[in-house]
Structure 1
Amino acid sequence: MLTKRIIPCLDVNMGRVVKGINFVDLKDVGNPVEIAEFYNKEGADEIVFLDITATSDGRKTMIDVVKKTAEKIFIPLTVGGGIRTLDDFRDILKAGADKISINSSAVKDPELVKKAAEKFGSQCVVVAIDGRKRPDGSGWNVVIAGGRIDTGLDAVEWAKKVTALGCGEILLTSMDADGTKNGYDIEFTSAITAAVNIPVIASGGCGNIEHFYEVFQNTNCDAALAASLFHYRELTIKEVKNYLKDKGVSVRL
């Protein structure tokens, strides 16, 4: 039985970690290198870094931040935001990232998923899927640009497609749940995990310790990602893992 992973997410804007609700009203949380190092010591299984504004100006900062962080941590580091080409993949992997997460660029150029998997290996290609439930409740559409643009793509079909193209993992964010603290989107996460045979990271909506158990109990996700809960010290990673272990969930302590 594979252990379930607990992953803190650092949304980085102009070299600082920020947090907002549905990607707006961003508040400064601190220095990404220091925060990542802290989570590494605390027992996080991985760290995800997302350059949420991904401006071309921010790119250099990001590579610099990735380098400094990779030197300080001993767990896998996934980096996303503004990665559009194989050269971007190469540069960020060279800076010390273990995996690269792509979102909008995969939607705009699905071949990028295939080419990156062929060149660098599936294990380091993560496709981030942000989904929102359709108004008629018939399923979920893929949204990009921080949830501002509805692509019209069906999220479940898109997950199947990127899996077939060679992606090694899906980072799934429910835009309906994101920042609400009402819990992970069980229905959406279940639909995606049932459709693919690669690891899925559940993201968006975690508000308390029980939510971690709920998502592992009710879906086949492999990992749960959270941000503000950890950043604002409402919970520690250790507390979450001990709680899950007591509940019979296999975790790495």
Structure 2
Amino acid sequence: MTALRRIALTAVAAPLALALAACGSDEQATEGAPKGEPIAAVPAPAGTSWVETAAVTPEDGYRIGNPDAPLKLVEYASHTCPACAAFSTSAVAELDEYVAKGVVSYEIRNQVHNALDLTLAMLMRCGAPETFHPLANQVWANLDQVMNTAQQNEAALNQAMQAQDATRFQKIADAAGLLDFFAARGISRDQAMQCLADPAKGEAILQRSQAQSEELEVTGTPTFFLNGSKLEGSNWAEIEPILQNAGAR
């Protein structure tokens, strides 16, 4: 049985409870987090902005900002996690200011919690790397709407999750109303259907999620790392002072 099939079966057993419950992490450690004097801004190349500079990392994370930023913030996140949504809505504007200065880069990596979460992770990758963060923020800003739509079509969603062929993720997205949601945000239905047509892509995302979570002891979301050190805290009020102590201003 593949990892993909296992997560599909788990999601069928409790299709939406997981989306709300598999969130939050255990006690973390901020020991080793960098500390330092204020770091001077690093101008972006002429005609560009660090906030709009995006790349896919070797870990399959999506990073915005100066690739050589002295402070590298990584978030392990679930697209169906309310705590991740709370972080996004409270942090995005201020975090973008640090990124814009070239001092902080910000990378999102997936920790997959359920089949709906995995479908969202695949849809985030439909566009160019520059669209991943905006799409993720849109999902988190409208998470109640996304989850309510899925709940209203719970029977169809359960049936879609049990599909055994290459249409599984397409059926999940259709049943959960995700095709319309993403179409309203620049990813056409045809483009989304094409992105969801290859289950091997979903399997790869899931395998990386599981391997990295085990290696780095990421037990819930959101979990943050700064320059490789796991941070204590899951909200912006806790993360921003750590960035400032490390030299972000």
TM-score after normalising by structure 2 = 0.29
Kindly indicate whether structure 1 or structure 2 has the higher relative contact order, using CA contacts under 8 Å at least 6 residues apart.
2
Higher strand share: 1
Q: TM-score, normalised by structure 1?
A: 0.28
Larger radius of gyration: 2
